Structure 1
């Protein structure tokens, strides 16, 4: 049994003072007043955030796609760089780069990741003897770092809304339904061996799956999460209208049983009617504000979605920059720029940082299959402590602590991080940072040579 004590702890009912947690089997067993005998004590504690959408292998290409091409660059030209990088990676590279990404997630306050995993096959496009070889490498990276894992194997079969087969540069992603069923079975087997892990399914996007394939893949979920990219780009919307006579979200809601199990990743370009309909469905909007800004995707209509009762979470997607506070900050700042207003996503009189943290915690946990979350009995003991002596915190009380974490000079503010009650970050540094960084450096030396 583990014991942790916090002088100040964020709970669902607000900040509480002088609280101890007992931890059994990686979950919170009890909240007790005062400092329990033998408890490790910290000053400021709060729940870690879920990262609901990551392509871990893309951490390795961070900084390699920022040189302008001969014309206007876009998401579509960025994909060419991504394909070149993906075609060069070995399973060892994937594991090393994923571990580095997960170290950085933990060090900034993410405690669980939804790995939208689509790099499945060998460089020549042939499946590995173990169909889930690459998924096993993702799980090995999660095990080495201690981050919670929701593994989301991706089904990818088409190169566009016209139903054409995947192109040669997409050969490491593409699967038949039979092969994908093997990947799902392999993923189920893998997560059984990893403490606290689970899995779901992920039809990549409407342009990468046919209508029949979408129904088949969603049917493999068995009540687990279903994640899909949708309406990320204007061109995607235009092609959907041309080929399917409907906008992507409009078509999806009309042809799939979208409900609270679903996470619609990006959902950037929606009409008012679509925004309201997604909110009514209970699906989580999976927002990746830093990547969406980096790729020039556009701005999600968060005020309308939240006013309609919608749920959201945040993810690091391309992992161009990994920062838990930075994702929710970018979400708010995008709304401020679009609306020329301040404190857009807070209720009147409420803290913006607190609203962002609470929303991302609830929506992200739901999207990753965790029904109980936060500092609650039965929830995973996924916790973050903040350095109470950090300059960002000086002068702040409970009412503004989350605001200074999200919007203040907070580099180095995260002190310790626990997942399932085990300490993964101490003094701001992952406990295995050195050897994992060395493996990452070796992989990057080969890939960038």
Structure 2
């Protein structure tokens, strides 16, 4: 592991695992972890004084990196009722045009944007494995290795989730041509995971895996993978995103998707149920009781017309959630958390739906929950600012008058509900500054490569 000199930082306001603290001296060890936190100090000679309030960097728990290149290109109305399913056809056309160099360039641009938006880690739900005709690259892990390279180039933390995808619908329906770049049988998928164990270890990435959805895998295939997977990291799955998915699942099994998943699979704290938008009260309570994280992507769910997750009831049942950016029509912590709360308000026609109770801050409540849920879903522990944790820090701009005039939880409320990504000045991942004054040190090269991809897709 690369080591660096010990660093000393000084923060006038910082959100620790124990709450807000003032005038805190931080010591970082050579491995990018927090060695000491001492509140109530004066800055010492040699301390780096941080330019504004400091909060933990959140893990983005759901990403399909290549889809960032098509953001904004599916907003032209079709001839009928546009839906997730018509959007998916446009996505397939994008898949058919990109090669490994393109995917690396898109992912690097996306990961840089995520850092600027306050995310310190991404869980990459990676199902683009092969060429457009379905043939494998010389190295079957080629596309995954490009994701690892993009994360390394930008400095974002990575939890890599190769995806098993074999069918077009429930019950093992044969895949359609647009899905050919995604497909594996169980043996080939397990071989891919074995290939990636040492690669992720060298890159410092966490390795888990995902089942694309109950549409894309049979129960026997899922059980084969669970029995032999060479990793103990997170398990993610899309579930109950669309009402048609629920109807198809009922027709196939007589049970709804989340109901079937909880009945048939060993769902526990390793699991992250992506979207889980359409649940009955019984499913909502069951998913919460299982200890799984609900992976919510409010901007994408709004863009695709998915529906609104029952967050108020899920949280009341003890459920855990985190946020991701999925198709990347948005790339910031603030936008996802704001839309999460606003969706609940629009449905219920009431305000402050996810606050922990009377007199509590909505921003603080949803930030804390997304921090904990994102860390669990990414397989990295708590994600908080405390001794022994990785130094994954977001510095909000002390030059912004909204931030400068705020203290404590009001900082979060103003960032999340009034400002957004523009309020972020600096971002540190594992003790290394990746964003300084709103810019990445490789920004020009990353933008240039990404621009070439966009021109190719045009």
TM over 0.5: yes
Partner of 2:232: 223
Match of 1:51, SS state, is strand
**Aligned partners of 2:162, 2:409: CA distance in 1, in Å?**
40
Instruction: Work out which of the residue numbers 313, 321, 340 in structure 1 matches 2:322.
Output: 313
Residue 395 (structure 1) aligned with residue 405 (structure 2): yes
**Aligned partners of 1:336, 1:209: CA distance in 2, in Å?**
36
**Aligned partners of 1:375, 1:221: CA distance in 2, in Å?**
31
Partner of 1:2: 7
Match of 2:10, SS state, is strand
**Aligned partners of 1:28, 1:153: CA distance in 2, in Å?**
31
Instruction: Work out which of the residue numbers 97, 110, 126 in structure 2 matches 1:88.
Output: 97
Counterparts in 2 of 1:42-441, with a 5 A limit?
42=50, 43-195=52-204, 197-219=205-227, 220=229, 222-347=231-356, 348-441=358-451
Shift of 1:405: 0.4
**Aligned partners of 1:390, 1:139: CA distance in 2, in Å?**
35
Stretch of structure 1 that moved more, 185-194 or 222-231: 185-194
TM-score, normalised to structure 2, is 0.96
Q: Is the CA contact 2:276–2:309 (under 8 Å) kept in the aligned structure 1?
A: yes
Partner of 1:14: 19
Q: Is the CA contact 2:372–2:382 (under 8 Å) kept in the aligned structure 1?
A: no
**Aligned partners of 1:249, 1:396: CA distance in 2, in Å?**
42
Q: Is the CA contact 1:116–1:152 (under 8 Å) kept in the aligned structure 2?
A: yes
**Aligned partners of 1:288, 1:39: CA distance in 2, in Å?**
38
Shift of 1:37: 4.1
**Aligned partners of 2:414, 2:329: CA distance in 1, in Å?**
23
Q: Deviations over 1:385-427 (max 9, x none)?
A: 0111213324322230000000013452100000001000000
TM-score, normalised to structure 1, is 0.98
Shift of 1:221: 6.1
**Aligned partners of 1:12, 1:125: CA distance in 2, in Å?**
47
**Aligned partners of 2:417, 2:296: CA distance in 1, in Å?**
18
Match of 2:181, SS state, is coil
Relative to 1, partners in 2 of residues 1:367 and 1:216: Cα closer, same or farther, differing over 3 Å?
same
Match of 1:228, SS state, is strand
Match of 1:204, SS state, is strand
